[in-house]
A = this chain, B = another copy of it.
Amino acid sequence: MYSIDNKQYPCSTSLTMRYIGGKWKAVILIHLIEKKRYSELRKECKVITERTLSLHLKEMEADGLITRTVHTSKPPLKVDYELTQFGKTLIPVLKAIAEWGKDTAENNDRISFVK
């Protein structure tokens, strides 16, 4: 049994899911394997609303998975996000997830491509 910030996780699997679970965190993280500006990230994740994207970025920054760097002092701002050393330890997991999705899509009749 593990505990972070007074929340409990019964096993190592549930611990990992607290970092990358939810609908979008893994998706955002995989896009941040390469450092990226906020606007680029938004373009690549059009289906995620700005509010959700922004909240997730803050959470993952607080979790120590990513860093946020501001390069200007006045608007227009230039901000980029990248994985921390800790965040980078997730890369093999994220790649396994992405790969399974790809392989599954190719071999499962219930899944179709659109657009």
| A contact set with B: CB distance below 8 Å | 1-5, 8, 10-17, 19, 21-24, 26-27, 30, 45-47, 86, 89-90, 92-94, 96-105, 108, 110-115
Provide the bound-state CA to CA distance between A94 and B16, in Å: 10
Q: Given A10-B46, A17-B97, A100-B16, are A105 and B26 also a contact pair (CB < 8 Å)?
A: no
**Contact residue among B3, B10, B27, B47 (Cβ-Cβ distance under 8 Å from A8):** B47
Partner of A10, one of B1, B17, B47: B47
Given contacts A4-B111, A96-B92, contact A104 B27 (CB under 8 A): no
Alpha-carbon separation in the docked complex, A62 to B24 (Å): 23
**Nearest CB of B to A91, in Å:** 10
